[in-house]
Amino acid sequence: MYEESMNTVLIQELTRFNGLTRVITATLKDIQKAIQGLLLMSSDLEQVFLSIFNGKTPAMWLANSYPSLKPLGGYTNDLIERLKFFQSWIDNGIPVTFWLSGIYFTQAFTTGAAQNFARRYTIPIDTLVFDYEMPQDQHPVAKPDNGVYCYGLFLEGCKWDWSEWQLEESDNKVLYVPVPLLWILPCKKADLRTFPWYDCPLYKVSTRKGVLSTTGHSTNFVMPIKLRSSRPESHWVKRGVAMLTQLDA
């Protein structure tokens, strides 16, 4: 359907994950053959074998993968959950809420949401911006009229105050907390709401650095997200507050 850009996003995501799973499957089969003496153990295969033996995610896999700092066990579980998410999308149609952390190329997903809005209201997409809200209903049963509901993010350096519905200081010895369900809403710049907020940067992994890919996007930084706050931005900047799509474990 022309009106549904998420179909294009799904196809692009499946292409990337199919490529990743092919690499993983091929290297595991080749290692088994090499151990049995049916195939020469090349230096690349040996590095994959040693990484698996030491519980690390092989560099050959990461070269074809989404960014991840997880050890082998955590990476495998994470990959399986991502594949389950997309299989559910294929079987049951477009989900009500999207697992933002499970998407390989997050910028394409947000562009798809903006493109749906632009086509629906016949507005040039380059005139749109994103507004952000944490809906009070954290378990919606229907998709929003505009934009997308997303979950799976984490806050580092602060927490979400569920009573005041805004950012608050972290609890003692708590490094990361889940972010409430997030509503990403495309809108015209003139319709952008103003309220006390903190422009919180969203990263894929906790290293907070990355290089530009061929698409011109950072391999790690995703976008800034406006979060309600009664404190000035400088307060949270000094604490290094950021959002992450995934943790290191």
Specify whether 107 is located in the same domain as 229: yes
pTM to 2 decimal places? 0.90
Structural domains in the chain (count): 2
Q: Where are the alpha helices (DSSP H) in the chain?
A: 6-35, 43-53, 59-62, 72-92, 106-121, 233-238
Of 95, 115, 148, which one is at a domain's C-terminal end?
95
Q: How far apart are CA 244 and CA 249, in angstroms?
A: 13
Of 30, 63, 95, which one is at a domain's C-terminal end?
95
Specify whether 104 is located in the same domain as 6: no
What local confidence, expressed as pLDDT, does residue 2 receive? 65
What local confidence, expressed as pLDDT, does residue 216 receive? 72
Specify whether 70 is located in the same domain as 110: no
Of 95, 128, 148, which one is at a domain's C-terminal end?
95
Specify whether 112 is located in the same domain as 154: yes
Specify whether 74 is located in the same domain as 114: no
Q: What is the pLDDT of residues 176-234, one digit of tens each?
A: 999 999 999 999 988 888 889 999 999 999 998 877 776 677 888 999 999 999 999 99
Boundaries of domain holding 211: 96-249
Whichever domain contains 120, its CATH number is 3.10.490.20
Yes or no: say if 65 and 102 are a contact pair by the CB < 8 Å rule: no
What's the sign of the alpha-carbon dihedral 234, 235, 239, 241? Answer: negative
Specify whether 231 is located in the same domain as 182: yes
Burial class (CB in 10 A: 0-12, 13-18, 19+), 246: buried
Residues of the chain with pLDDT below 70 are 1-3, 214-215
Whichever domain contains 7, its CATH number is 1.20.1270
Specify whether 37 is located in the same domain as 100: no
What local confidence, expressed as pLDDT, does residue 218 receive? 80
Specify whether 161 is located in the same domain as 53: no
Specify whether 16 is located in the same domain as 57: yes
Q: How far apart are CA 197 and CA 165, in angstroms?
A: 12
What local confidence, expressed as pLDDT, does residue 249 receive? 83
Neighbours of 14 (CB within 10 A): 16
Q: How far apart are CA 134 and CA 140, in angstroms?
A: 12
